[in-house]
């Protein structure tokens, strides 16, 4: 079965914007509050960001090798298929298609719309309307062309970074806070969470604030010079995100004393009030709308490439592998994600759905990184266009930290983890009974 191929139109600036644009979302305003409150030490907050940034960088360097090796649409789906076979790859696709992508898209859209609704005093129906319209418009932009979608992502990411850096500079230069908020700098303050428990919670929160850097690999089939571009984009993107998280956490601590921190929402409101007075809440709401909109734009652009890749392998409806005759985009895959997400917005059940599959997301990312070891054993090193720096230490560091994270997640909510794993495992009988004989690997983009 033959198909037209995706056109390589994305450069390294757009690829880097995809990494930064997706990762930096609403968590940048909510996560520092919980970390600062539980850790009770500005130094420990910065250490956790550095540790998780280093972890993300190790994973990104491994994904760089995988993306250079298999520069086709699909990302982790392709790496899992090549390293472990189509059954595991199908389970990943099964999860993302039916649960994760629509649920996360809906969550981002409603998050963006909620803050817009706060500024505009909208009723819940108005918030849902903005969320659905946002999903549809972004889907239409990406159907219209990957170049247009990439242009939108670049500008939303640039605006997002500009606004965040303005907050940092304005906060410190305007002397709206107090340097005394950083003392004691290292020691935990009274009434803080015990150190081990505080670090465990902060590590989990920080990891998911970095979540999504791996999604740029899903558009590898549309990136120019992927063996060179994708490793650079992953590396630069993670470094930028780490720096931004550290700077914004620092300015928030400078603006709001730790003893006044109660929740992420109030923390952001307090910081906004310190910077902009009585309209601080509305100003911060507008900044958050731009921030989350950028993440949503990236996700709607990258996620459908997995269904496209599955359809090419005959593990999904083959029609989804067809490109738009005029725009050359996987239009049906994009429309499918948008439709499912819009339905979830209207039903209002997406947050619970996403929460059940957090554990399995981490497992699949870890298996993708571990694929570096599997593929290295099968292939001569000279056959790799890009090799992970520091191998084998780089993937080992990432996998060891992921193992710690999985233990923390399983211990925190074992029933949720078990149910999520069970639902994903239900894809196995579907694969073996209905799809195994249909599996065909397309090679025209390798």
SS3 label, residue 271: helix
Say how far apart CA 432 and CA 87 lie, in whole Å.
8
Q: Where are the alpha helices (DSSP H) in 256-328?
A: 264-276, 280-302, 304-312
Higher local confidence (pLDDT), 48 or 382: 48
10 DSSP β-pair partners: 223
Which tokens sit at 284?
A: 């911060």
Closest CA to 427 of 90, 77, 86: 90
CB atoms closer than 10 angstroms to residue 351 = 14
CATH of 12-436, one of 3.30.420.340, 4.10.320.10, 1.20.1740.10, 3.40.50.2300: 1.20.1740.10
Share of the chain above pLDDT 90, in %: 67
Backbone angles phi and psi of 28, in degrees to 5: -65, -25
pLDDT band at 62 (very low <50, low <70, confident <90, very high): very high
Q: What is the mean pLDDT of the chain?
A: 90
φ, ψ of residue 386 to 5 degrees: the values are -145, 135
**What are the backbone angles phi and psi of residue 10, rounded to the nearest 5°?**
-100, 130
Position 262 scores a pLDDT of 76
pLDDT band at 446 (very low <50, low <70, confident <90, very high): very low
Any idea where the domains of the chain sit in the sequence?
12-436
Q: What is the 3-state secondary structure (H, E, C) of 350-405?
A: HHHHHHCCHHHHHHHHHHHHHHHHHHHHHCCHHHCCCCCCCCCHHHHHHHHHHHHH
Residue 212 CA to chain centroid, in angstroms? 2
Q: Which residue has the tokens 């400078």?
A: 254
DSSP 8-state symbol, 325: T
Q: What DSSP state is assigned to residue 213?
A: G
Per-residue pLDDT at 442: 53
pLDDT tens digits, 67-94: 999 999 999 999 999 999 999 999 999 9
Reply yes or no: is the peptide bond before residue 20 cis, omega within 30 of 0: no
Cβ-based neighbours of 216, under 8 Å, separated by 6 or more: 15, 18, 19, 22, 67, 75, 230, 233, 234, 237, 302
Q: Is residue 3 very low, low, confident or very high in pLDDT (cuts 50, 70, 90)? A: very low
């Amino acid at each position: 079965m033959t198909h037209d191929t995706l056109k390589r139109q994305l450069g390294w600036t757009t690829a880097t914007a995809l990494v930064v644009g997706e990762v930096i979302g609403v968590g940048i305003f909510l996560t520092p509050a919980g970390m600062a409150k539980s850790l009770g030490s500005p130094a420990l907050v910065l250490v956790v960001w550095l540790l998780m940034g280093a972890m993300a960088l190790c994973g990104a360097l491994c994904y760089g090798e995988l993306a250079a090796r298999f520069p086709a649409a699909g990302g982790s789906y392709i790496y899992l298929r090549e390293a472990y076979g189509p059954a595991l790859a199908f389970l990943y696709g099964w999860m993302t298609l039916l649960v994760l992508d629509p649920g996360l898209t809906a969550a981002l859209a409603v998050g963006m719309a909620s803050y817009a609704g706060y500024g505009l005093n909208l009723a819940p129906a108005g918030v849902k309307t903005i969320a659905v319209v946002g999903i549809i418009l972004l889907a239409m932009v990406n159907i219209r062309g990957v170049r247009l979608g990439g242009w939108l992502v670049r500008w939303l990411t640039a605006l997002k970074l500009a606004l965040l850096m303005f907050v940092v500079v304005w906060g410190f230069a305007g002397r709206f806070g107090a340097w005394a908020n950083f003392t004691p700098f290292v020691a935990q303050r009274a009434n803080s969470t015990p150190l081990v428990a505080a670090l465990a919670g902060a590590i989990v929160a920080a990891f998911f604030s970095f979540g999504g850097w791996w999604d740029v690999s899903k558009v590898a089939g549309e990136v120019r010079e992927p063996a060179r571009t994708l490793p650079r984009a992953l590396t630069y993107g993670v470094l930028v995100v780490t720096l931004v998280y550290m700077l914004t956490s620092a300015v928030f601590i400078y603006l709001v004393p730790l003893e006044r921190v109660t929740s992420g929402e109030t923390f952001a409101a307090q910081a906004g009030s310190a910077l902009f007075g009585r309209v601080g809440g509305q100003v911060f709401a507008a900044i958050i709308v731009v921030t989350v909109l950028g993440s949503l734009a990236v996700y709607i652009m990258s996620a459908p490439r997995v269904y496209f890749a599955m359809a090419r392998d005959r593990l999904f409806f083959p029609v989804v592998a067809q490109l738009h005759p005029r725009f050359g985009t996987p239009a049906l895959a994009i429309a499918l994600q948008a439709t499912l997400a819009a339905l979830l917005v209207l039903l209002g059940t997406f947050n619970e759905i996403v929460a059940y599959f957090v554990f399995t997301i981490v497992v699949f990312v870890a298996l993708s990184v571990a694929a570096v070891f599997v593929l290295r054993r099968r292939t001569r090193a000279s056959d790799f266009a890009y090799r992970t720096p520091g191998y084998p230490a780089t993937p080992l560091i990432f996998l060891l930290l992921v193992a710690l994270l999985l233990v923390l997640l399983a211990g925190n909510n074992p029933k949720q983890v078990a149910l999520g794993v069970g639902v994903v495992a239900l894809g196995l009988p579907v694969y073996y009974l209905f799809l195994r004989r249909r599996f065909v690997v397309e090679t025209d983009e390798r």
